[in-house]
């Protein structure tokens, strides 16, 4: 990996992003492409923040007002979505509001963006169950069938830590800390693999069993979920810097790396390897890289740090060479060969907008190690 390779990749991202701005105008990308083409959708899914986050990163990279102006127009859309409570009864407030409105406030000082991001944090803690202490992922809070937390939720906790920093209200941090700990206690298996979801008995309030929603089976490890665990533990570590937390980061990262095929980009579930004829999930690779880069400054073991640097280089070189889009076309993804939902037969071997986002974030981190992400 060289500075020139990274710059060339970011320059291609800028070209494709500019074309996509012309394509989407005041709409948003669908979660996944269909025949390699994003559909134009309204701001009402869990993924819209990723497109806005890409715009903010491109503004930071190139300092062109056009990126900032479109990103700021998205803030208005996110305020309207909050005002009208459009599909916000779920835990993905961080995916939506950290990358759009927290980013806007940090980069421009937009007080309206700050206010709506704090409202999003309030939405998130409204899903809190005091006993045994978790944020419910999906469904109505009083629905016993939805009494569960999931590995993806670790990426939504930075919104609460940010809200604590901005307001001084300790409840945000207390909830984030407790949810972080219950996820690490129950979602990470002894061998370092991860469950996707974990259920809590609604009567006894005891965490009871882990199941999958996106992975191949209940006892396999969904690649994107494993990547969420790598990045989620790393993001939480700066707020919860304990030795056992670092040990869990190393366990989930080692499990992910040990399951990689020859080209270093994971199949969609880590139960599969070379010769399986299963699709890859390039987004899992990009997410894992971001997690490893996030934790890198905190790793004191010189040999393990060297291992992480080597893994990041190998994965990113493969993503750039083999999976990134090199033929700019309006409405196309930045990163190809992702998987949204294998069981639903949707978004398989297609680009997806979170894969695009984390690919760009990884490049931004490598281009400038002092760059500050929006989480």
Active site residue 152: yes
Q: Which residues are paired to 34 by β-bridges?
A: 37
Catalytic, out of 92, 269, 281, 356 = 92
Does residue 224 contact residue 214 with C-beta atoms inside 8 Å? yes
> How many other C-beta atoms are found inside a 10 Å radius of the C-beta of residue 274?
10
DSSP of 113-144: HHHHHHHHHHHHHTTEETTTTEE--SS-TT-G
Q: How many CB atoms lie within 10 A of CB 152?
A: 23
| CA dist., res. 64 & res. 68, Å (int) | 7
Q: Is 289 exposed, middle or buried (0-12, 13-18, 19+ CB in 10 A)?
A: buried
Tokens of 164: 């604590």
Q: What is the CA radius of gyration of the chain?
A: 19
Task: Give CA angle at 21 (19, 27), nearest 5°.
Answer: 135
User: What are 346's strand-pairing partners?
Assistant: 341
Beta strand spans in 190-335 (E): 197-200, 207-211
d(CA 360, CA 13): 7
Contact 14, 58 (CB under 8 A): yes
Instruction: State yes or no: cis peptide before 375, omega within 30 of 0.
Output: no
Catalytic pick among 11, 45, 83, 152 = 152
Q: Cα 209 vs. chain centroid, distance in angstroms? A: 24
**How far apart are alpha carbons 188 and 191 in whole angstroms?**
8
80 assigned to active site: no
Q: Which residues are catalytic?
A: 92, 152
């Amino acid at each position: 990996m060289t500075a020139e390779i990274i710059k060339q990749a970011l320059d291609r991202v800028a070209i494709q992003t500019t074309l996509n701005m012309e394509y989407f105008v005041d709409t948003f990308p669908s979660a996944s492409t269909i025949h390699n083409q994003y559909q134009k959708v309204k701001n009402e899914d869990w993924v819209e923040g990723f497109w806005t986050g890409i715009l903010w990163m491109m503004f930071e990279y190139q300092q062109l007002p056009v990126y900032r102006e479109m990103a700021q127009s998205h803030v208005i859309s996110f305020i309207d979505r909050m005002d009208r409570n459009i599909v916000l009864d779920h835990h993905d407030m961080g995916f939506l509001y950290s990358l759009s409105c927290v980013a806007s406030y940090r980069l421009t000082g937009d007080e309206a963006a700050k206010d709506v991001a704090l409202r999003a944090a309030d939405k998130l803690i409204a899903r809190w169950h005091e006993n045994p202490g978790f944020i419910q992922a999906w469904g109505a809070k009083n629905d016993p069938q939805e009494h569960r937390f999931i590995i993806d939720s670790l990426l939504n906790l930075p919104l609460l830590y940010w809200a604590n920093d901005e307001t001084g209200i300790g409840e945000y941090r207390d909830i984030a800390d407790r949810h972080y700990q219950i996820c690490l206690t129950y979602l990470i298996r002894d061998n370092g693999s991860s469950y996707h979801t974990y259920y809590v008995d609604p009567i006894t309030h005891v965490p009871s069993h882990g199941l999958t929603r996106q992975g191949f089976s209940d006892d396999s490890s969904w690649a994107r979920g494993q990547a969420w665990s790598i990045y989620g533990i790393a993001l939480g570590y700066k707020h919860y810097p304990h030795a056992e937390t670092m040990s869990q980061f190393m366990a989930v990262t080692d499990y992910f790396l040990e399951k990689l095929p020859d080209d270093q980009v994971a199949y969609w579930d880590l139960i599969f390897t070379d010769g399986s004829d299963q699709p890859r999930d390039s987004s899992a690779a990009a997410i894992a890289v971001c997690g490893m880069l996030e934790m890198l400054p905190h790793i004191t073991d010189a040999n393990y740090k060297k291992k992480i640097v080597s893994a990041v280089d190998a994965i990113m070189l493969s993503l750039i060479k083999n999976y990134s889009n090199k033929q700019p076309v309006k409405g196309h993804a930045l990163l190809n060969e992702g998987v949204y939902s294998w069981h639903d037969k949707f978004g398989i071997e297609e680009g997806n907008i979170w894969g695009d986002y984390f690919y760009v974030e990884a490049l931004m981190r490598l281009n400038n190690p002092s760059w500050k992400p929006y989480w």
